[in-house]
Structure 1
Amino acid sequence: MNQKVVAATRNVAIVGPYLSGKTTLLESLLFVTGAISRKGNIKDGNTVGDSVAEARDRKMTVEVGAASTEYQDIRFNFIDSPGSIEFSQETYNALIGVDAAVVVCEPITERVLTLAPLLKFLDDWEIPHLIFINKIDRLTCTDGAWGQRYREILDAIKSVSTRPLIPHQYPIGQGEELIGFIDLVSEQAYHYHSGAPADPVPLPESLREQEHAARAEMLEALANFDDHLLEELLEEIEPPQDEIIQDLRMELGADLIVPVFIGVAEQDYGVRHLIDALLREAPTPETTAQRRGLDGNTNKPVAQVLKTYYSPQGGKLSLVRVWQGQLTDGIVLNGIRAGGLYRLLGQQQNNLSVAMAGEIVAIGRLEGIQTGDTLAIEQSSIKLAKAEVAVPVYALAIAPENRKDEVKLSSALGKLMEEDRSLAWEQHGDTHEIILWGQGNIHLEVALARLRRKYNLPMVTHLPQVPYKETIRKPTTSHGRYKHQSGGHGQFGDVYLDIKPVSRGEGFNFSETIVGGVVPRQYIPGVEIGVREYLTHGPLGFPVVDVAVTLTNGSYHSVDSSEQAFKQAARLAMTEGMPKCEPVLLEPIMSVQVSSPIEFTSKILQLLTGRRGQILGYEGRSDWQGWDCVSAYLPQAEMHDFIVELRSLTLGIGFFNWQYDHLQEVPEKLKEKVLTTAGNSNGNGKG
Structure 2
Amino acid sequence: MGDKTTAHPGAAGRAMAADRPTSVRNVVLVGPSGAGKTTLVEALALTAGAVNRAGRVEDGGTVSDYDDIEHRQQRSVQLSLVPVEWDGIKVNLLDTPGYADFVGELRAGLRTADAALFVVSASDGVDGSTRMVWEECAAVGMPRAIVVTHLEAARADYEETTRSCAEAFGADDPDAVLPLYLPLRGPQAPDGHAPVTGLAGLLSRKLFDYSTGRRAESEPGEDRLPLLEEARNRLIEGIIAESEDETLMDRYLGGERIDVKTLVEDLERAVARGTFFPVLAASPAADGARQGLGTVEVLELVTGGFPTPLEHDQPQVTTVDGRPRELTPCDPDGPLLAEVVRTSSDPYVGRVSLVRVFSGTLRPDETVHVSGHGLADRGHEDHDVDERVGALSTPFGKQQRPVPHCVAGDLACVAKLNRAETGDTLSAKDDPLLMEPWDMPDPLLPLAIQAHSKPDEDKLSQGLARLVAEDPTMRLEQNQDTHQVVLWCLGEAHADVALERLRSRYGVQVDVVPHRVSLRETFAARAGGRGRHVKQSGGHGQYAICEIEVEPLPGGSGIEFVDKVVGGAVPRQFIPSVEKGVRAQAAKGVAAGHPLVDVRVTLLDGKAHSVDSSDAAFQTAGALALREAAADARIHLLEPVAEVSVLVGDDYVGAVMSDLSGRRGRVLGTEQTAGGRTLVRAEVPEIEIGRYAVDLRSLSHGTARFGRRYARHEPMPAQVAERLRKQEQQAS
Q: One fold, TM greater than 0.5?
A: yes
**1:581 partner SS:** coil
Letter in 2 for 1:228: T
Is 1:372 aligned to 2:423, yes or no?
yes
Give deviations 1:255-291, integer Å, cap 9, x for gaps: 2222211122364221121112112111122233679
Q: Give the number of equivalent residue pairs.
A: 671
| Contact 1:245 1:281 survives alignment (8 Å) | no
Aligned partners of 1:182 and 1:586: how far apart in 2? 68
1:114–1:205 CA distance, 2 compared to 1 (3 A): farther
Aligned partners of 1:379 and 1:547: how far apart in 2? 55
| Contact 2:446 2:488 survives alignment (8 Å) | yes
Letter in 2 for 1:184: L
| Contact 1:172 1:180 survives alignment (8 Å) | yes
Letter in 1 for 2:521: E
Give deviations 1:209-234, integer Å, cap 9, x for gaps: 44222222222222232213323322
Counterpart of 2:311 (choices 287, 304, 310) is 287
Match of residue 722 from structure 2: 672
Is 1:197 aligned to 2:208, yes or no?
no
Letter in 1 for 2:146: I
**2:312 partner SS:** helix
The 10-residue stretch of structure 1 (27-36 or 151-160) with the greater mean CA deviation from structure 2: 151-160
Aligned partners of 1:523 and 1:266: how far apart in 2? 86
Match of residue 460 from structure 2: 409
Counterpart of 2:229 (choices 192, 200, 212) is 212
Is 1:301 aligned to 2:324, yes or no?
no
Letter in 2 for 1:154: C
1:333–1:675 CA distance, 2 compared to 1 (3 A): same
Give the 5 Å matches for 1:523-602. Answer: 523-535=574-586, 536-602=588-654
Match of residue 685 from structure 1: none
> Residue 396 of structure 1: CA displacement?
1.1
Aligned partners of 1:650 and 1:20: how far apart in 2? 20
> Residue 378 of structure 1: CA displacement?
4.3
Match of residue 460 from structure 1: 511
| Contact 2:104 2:440 survives alignment (8 Å) | yes
Give the 5 Å matches for 1:322-341. Answer: 322-334=357-369, 335-341=386-392
Match of residue 6 from structure 1: 21
Is 1:633 aligned to 2:683, yes or no?
yes
| Contact 1:512 1:552 survives alignment (8 Å) | yes
Counterpart of 1:235 (choices 232, 237, 254) is 254
Aligned partners of 1:485 and 1:497: how far apart in 2? 24
> Residue 596 of structure 1: CA displacement?
2.0
Counterpart of 1:124 (choices 131, 139, 142) is 139
Match of residue 663 from structure 2: 611
Match of residue 81 from structure 2: 66
Give the 5 Å matches for 1:48-87. Answer: 48-49=63-64, 51-87=66-102
Aligned partners of 2:362 and 2:659: how far apart in 1? 52
Aligned partners of 2:103 and 2:459: how far apart in 1? 28
The 10-residue stretch of structure 1 (661-670 or 443-452) with the greater mean CA deviation from structure 2: 661-670
Match of residue 154 from structure 1: 165
Is 1:102 aligned to 2:102, yes or no?
no
Aligned partners of 2:456 and 2:250: how far apart in 1? 73
**2:414 partner SS:** strand
Match of residue 187 from structure 1: 205
1:342–1:533 CA distance, 2 compared to 1 (3 A): same
Letter in 2 for 1:216: N
Gaps of 5+ in 1: 683-687
> Residue 118 of structure 1: CA displacement?
1.5
> Residue 36 of structure 1: CA displacement?
1.0
Aligned partners of 1:491 and 1:222: how far apart in 2? 93
> Residue 631 of structure 1: CA displacement?
0.9
| Contact 1:471 1:585 survives alignment (8 Å) | yes
Is 1:657 aligned to 2:700, yes or no?
no
> Residue 4 of structure 1: CA displacement?
6.2
TM-score by length of 2: 0.87
Q: In percent, how many aligned pairs have the same letter?
A: 29
Aligned partners of 1:55 and 1:344: how far apart in 2? 17
Give deviations 1:634-670, integer Å, cap 9, x for gaps: 1111112111121112222322100111222222222
1:151–1:210 CA distance, 2 compared to 1 (3 A): farther
| Contact 1:614 1:632 survives alignment (8 Å) | yes
Aligned partners of 2:118 and 2:300: how far apart in 1? 16
The 10-residue stretch of structure 1 (157-166 or 389-398) with the greater mean CA deviation from structure 2: 157-166
Across the aligned residues of Structure 1 and Structure 2, the Cα RMSD in angstroms comes to: 2.4
Aligned partners of 1:380 and 1:245: how far apart in 2? 44
Match of residue 265 from structure 1: 284
Aligned partners of 1:404 and 1:379: how far apart in 2? 43
Gaps of 5+ in 2: 1-16, 287-291, 317-327, 370-385
1:381–1:168 CA distance, 2 compared to 1 (3 A): farther
Aligned partners of 2:161 and 2:79: how far apart in 1? 31
Match of residue 544 from structure 2: 493
| Contact 1:96 1:386 survives alignment (8 Å) | no
**2:412 partner SS:** strand
Aligned partners of 1:661 and 1:81: how far apart in 2? 36
1:290–1:54 CA distance, 2 compared to 1 (3 A): closer
| Contact 1:94 1:307 survives alignment (8 Å) | no
| Contact 1:62 1:82 survives alignment (8 Å) | yes
Aligned partners of 2:610 and 2:453: how far apart in 1? 52
> Residue 172 of structure 1: CA displacement?
3.1
The 10-residue stretch of structure 1 (258-267 or 466-475) with the greater mean CA deviation from structure 2: 258-267
**1:137 partner SS:** coil
